[in-house]
């Protein structure tokens, strides 16, 4: 599957209400997550996704995000192949921050992606 075959949406199309039926799945590494992430996102590093599928509701709409979009292509392909309804968030967390969307981080850390 090529990049063009992967369903994707711009950051502005990610629903603000992450209520369980909609999941923003952040697949970046722990250190990237700690620097800043979207409020309400669920963190499962890319390498852990296959072992932690039980943490992702198969009935939910899953928006997959990484730093800039490269890793999320692979995860979206994988999730869709095994029965999930997943889409890639184009531009990743870099586009998220550039769009002025909210960020959060650990207490005492100024949230930033780049």
The verdict on whether 26 is a catalytic residue reads: no
- Active-site residue identified among 27, 66, 76, 95: 66
DSSP H helical ranges for the chain: 30-35, 70-81, 92-98
Which pair of tokens denotes residue 10?
A: 């711009």
Active site residues: 66
């Amino acid at each position: 599957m090529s990049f063009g075959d992967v369903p994707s949406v711009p950051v502005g199309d990610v629903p603000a209400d992450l209520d369980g039926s909609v999941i923003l799945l952040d697949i970046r590494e722990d250190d990237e997550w700690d620097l800043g992430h979207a409020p309400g996102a669920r963190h499962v590093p890319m390498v852990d996704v296959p072992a932690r599928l039980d943490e992702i509701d198969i009935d939910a709409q899953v928006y997959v995000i990484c730093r800039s979009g490269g890793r999320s292509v692979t995860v979206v392909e994988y999730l869709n192949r095994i029965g999930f309804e997943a889409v890639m968030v184009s531009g990743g967390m870099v586009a998220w921050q550039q769009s002025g969307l909210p960020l959060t981080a650990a207490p005492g850390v100024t949230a930033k992606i780049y």
